[in-house]
Amino acid sequence: MWEADTLLEHMYNEAIREAKDRQVSMSPSERKLLLKQVLRQLIGEFEINVNHKPVLLERVPCEGYVRERVELSAVPGVSYAAYVLIPDGSQGKPMPAVVAVHGHGYGSREIVGLREDGSTDTEQPGIHRHFAVELARRGMVVIAPDVAGFGERRLMADLARDPDTPNSCHRLSTQLMMYGKTVAGLRVAETLGAVGHLAERPEVQPGRIGIMGFSGGGLISFLCAALDERIRAAVLAGYPNTFKDSIMEIRHCVCNYIPGILKHAELPEWLGLMAPRPLFLESGTHDPIFPAAGFNAAVDRLREIYRREGSEEKLQTDLFPGAHQISGRHSYDWLFEQLNRPDMPPPLPRIRF
């Protein structure tokens, strides 16, 4: 009789038990430092391109902001584009800034108010809700990088087989794993490159940079926030959960999986590496792939972590009526408020990933 189901359940229970045993054997600060070191190893490190100079590709006036498109490179031999939304009135007045990270779809255009072909999207927004535009209209400079594998960054090999292929997550994920790396690691390296670009822009206050990511963009955002304290506040939407209730229970894209990560901690503890910095979690009550039960379980664990660090008030959540989508009904304004706090610490040095 096949008992692989029993095996998987046993392995999960053993991983959680061993993680709890390690927790009690060290102080919280030692545990956090260890997890950060382990996380870098698990996702795989990439050589960083230190010599690239950003290239301005276009500059378009929009209602309430200017939209630039720039070419960046974080890893040698690989470049990517990013939209930068600069609110009107930024001249001579540096503003807080946000990295906006899209999830599965047609790329950064989906969150900056454009259709897949680059024309203006005048229809009702989809699940991404044009959230980069919403953040810019609240007075934050926003950078929305193209995530590797989506939109214009789909691999030529995939497009040759199917011009309508939705993404290149599978090919990127499986081939990078053959080298002991992950597509999450590549995406983190490039997203932190976007953080670095923001920090160097004259319109931006480099000590007031946040991040907001949706779905797979939430995965990238939490990894970046955990590993780089230049990110002073984070909003994770349509992603916060437990591994057990989400990616281990429901079929997800392979890009959500990081080999070995569950041997060290469940997802809520990984998210807790953000503490005591401000963190906002939002999810839909009827999200079919990141269920409400897992969201609530993650929130309960994170409250313990933030309470232990004396910063429970810096953790905010919103389980809103909806499915797998951005809400923003509280998170947009919350992020603006956090990045404008008068007690915001001074800028931190750039972290080399």
Q: Is the pLDDT of residue 1 over 80?
A: no
Angle at 152 between CA 146 and CA 158, to 5 degrees: 120
Which pLDDT score, from 0 to 100, does residue 3 have? 84
Which pLDDT score, from 0 to 100, does residue 23 have? 86
Q: Is the pLDDT of residue 148 over 50?
A: yes
Which pLDDT score, from 0 to 100, does residue 217 have? 98
Q: Is the pLDDT of residue 249 over 80?
A: yes
- Region 143-149: mean pLDDT is 98
| Res. 91 pLDDT band, cuts 50 70 90 | confident
Nearest to 315 by CA among 352, 277, 265, 286: 277
Domains of the chain by residue range? 4-340
Which pLDDT score, from 0 to 100, does residue 24 have? 86
Buried b (16+ CB within 10 A) or exposed e, 86-104: bbeebeeeebbbbbbbbbb
| Res. 196 pLDDT band, cuts 50 70 90 | very high
Which pLDDT score, from 0 to 100, does residue 51 have? 87
292 by Cβ neighbours in 10 Å (0-12 / 13-18 / 19+) ranks as: middle
- Region 31-55: mean pLDDT is 95
- Region 150-162: mean pLDDT is 97
pLDDT in tens, 327-341: 999 999 999 999 999
Q: Do 128 and 144 contact (CB within 8 A), yes or no?
A: no
Which pLDDT score, from 0 to 100, does residue 348 have? 54
Which pLDDT score, from 0 to 100, does residue 119 have? 96
- Region 105-126: mean pLDDT is 96
Q: Model's pTM, two decimal places?
A: 0.96
- Region 216-239: mean pLDDT is 98
Rounded Cα distance between 53 and 68, Å, is: 16
Which pLDDT score, from 0 to 100, does residue 353 have? 46
Rounded Cα distance between 125 and 334, Å, is: 21
For the chain, give the mean pLDDT. 95
Which pLDDT score, from 0 to 100, does residue 93 have? 86
- Region 11-16: mean pLDDT is 96
To which CATH superfamily is domain 4-340 assigned?
Alpha/Beta hydrolase fold, catalytic domain (3.40.50.1820)
